[in-house]
Structure 1
Amino acid sequence: MTGGAPQPPSFAPEVHKGDIPKEYRLQRYYTAADIAGHNTAHNCWVSFFGRVYDLTPLLAEYKGPLAQPIIAAAGSDISFWFDEATGQPKMHLDPVTGMQEIYCPWGRYIHVPPQGPESDWATDFGTPWWEDTRYWIGLRSAATRKIGIVNLMTRQKNTLEVPVEETVAEIQQRYLVHNAHAGSYTWKRLGKPLNMDKTLAENGMEDETEEFLRLSIDLDHHIPVIHLHFNDDLTEA
């Protein structure tokens, strides 16, 4: 991440319990759509306060009713579960007991203590999952934009929704699912090669989404296009 913030590992950590998806390359930023695709107990991502967490390893270790609220939230933002000032779960007064307890809008979840004594409640789990940086995999994008990518050799055109914070090189990584040899092309906008280490805006492709929305202009009719020029060298894939 930028600004001296700690960074997640380059790859998701290997886990040996439960039905864990295969290892995947991490990104600096994820879109809401990226997160939404991980919405099951065996592939569970959530976000809160701008960070994205893969809780699949957590759910591989914890079964039962306490896992259900997290499974139900898979693929979504759960910032409303927490106090932004403290980063801890929100507290509220129980209307029945009048006692202060953790606010669990979808039911008590993993690492939240019970209201009263329970013989099977373990307190030796160490760091609660919402504080455990092992599950942090990147940042949630503050905004996204659409771009068109046209391969001038094959005439294939794809439209991608990308985080505004990503560099062109990071967008290229997203595009690999459409063309595994994307690194063998020069990426150009209006005939000018793009600086792969800069964002689209830094390359002069300003994001006009807000202006178009203000003017009620259909965004899908005004998607900027990047052209890929083949370098005749497949060794850079």
Structure 2
Amino acid sequence: MMERPTYFTPAEVAAHNTAADLWVSFLGKVCDLTPLMKRYKGDALLLPIMECAGQDISSWFDPETKDVRKYMDPLTNCVRYYTPRGRFLHVPPAGPRSDWASDIGRPWWKDEDYEVGHLSARPRWIRVINTLTSQEQLLQVCSEETLADIRQRYLRYNSHACSYTWKHDGASLDMSRTLSENDVPDDHRELQQLRLDPDLFTPALLLHFNDDLSEG
């Protein structure tokens, strides 16, 4: 059975972009806000969140305080929350309101119960080639993941992936280390500077069958 990864690519977050399945990322973490959508269904303050479903909303928050950004209102000289898309759920109104319940507990952006993992700082592409069947699979993975994590992703394409030795450039890979730690190059930036197509230089990992059909 596949386990949910610890790190997610932006593309994986973007796939959850409806009110019935809504993820966002911010300040390096990924949150599943689907339960929040269900709990406050019909609340107009959900609209800014729904508009950004599947996106990174780090610009909403101060990386130092981990709270919603604030600014000094030039007209009132009062500190206000910066919400250019409109006030959203758990952000207090600018002035006193009789319909605002101040005792909301932890706001959703500080509630760890919504966190499902971390956003990868550097997604990258690899080719996984099964030397037994000649099957090739293009995978986008997270640079923070170990080879064991990447193998877990690959299980959906080959449930016997654990029965193979993973190699790159003739050397067996240490499954407890990342791609970079295994000296699998990431030349994306250099290739862009040289105006070469990175897709033509995607690193290939070769799978060699061990004659041991263990289940993934």
> Is the pair's TM-score, using the shorter chain for normalization, greater than 0.5?
yes
Equivalence for 2:124: 145
Whether contact under 8 Å (2:159, 2:215) holds in the other structure is no
Alignment of 1:47 with 2:25, yes or no, is yes
Q: Note the 1:179-194 alignment, pairs <5 A.
A: 179-194=158-173
CA distance in 2, matches of 1:99, 1:145: 45
Q: How much has 1:115 moved relative to structure 2?
A: 2.8
* Alignment match of 2:81 (pick from 102, 114, 120): 102
Partner of 1:223: 202
Match of 1:212 in 2: 191
Unaligned runs of 5+ in 1: 1-23
Please, which moves more after superposition, 114-123 or 197-206? 114-123
Per the alignment, residue 46 of structure 2 pairs with 67
* Cα distance in 2 between the residues matched to 1:70 and 1:189: 43
TM-score normalised over the length of structure 1: 0.83
**Letter aligned with residue 142 of structure 1:** A
Give the drift of 1:95.
Answer: 6.5
Q: Could you list the per-position Cα deviations for residues 64-91 of structure 1 after superposition, in whole angstroms to 9, with x for gaps in the alignment?
A: 2111111111111111111122111111
Alignment RMSD: 1.9
The runs of at least 4 aligned residues of structure 1 exceeding 6 Å deviation read none
Percent identity for Structure 1 against Structure 2? 49
Q: How does 1:163-174 map to 2 (within 5 A)?
A: 163-174=142-153
Unaligned segments of structure 2, at least 5 residues: none
TM-fit CA distance, 1:119: 4.0
Instruction: Name the residue aligned to 1:17.
Output: none
TM-score (norm 2): 0.90
Moved more, 209-218 or 119-128: 119-128
In the alignment, structure 1 residue 34 sits paired with structure 2 residue 12: yes
Contact 2:185–2:203, Cα closer than 8 Å, also in 1: no
Query: Deviation of residue 47 (structure 1)?
Result: 1.2
| Aligned length, in residue pairs | 214
Q: In structure 2, how many angstroms separate the alpha carbons of the residues matched to 1:225 and 1:113?
A: 51
The 10-residue stretch of structure 1 (96-105 or 203-212) with the greater mean CA deviation from structure 2: 96-105
Matched residue SS, 2:141: strand
User: With CA pairs under 8 Å and 6+ residues apart, which has the higher RCO, 1 or 2?
Assistant: 2
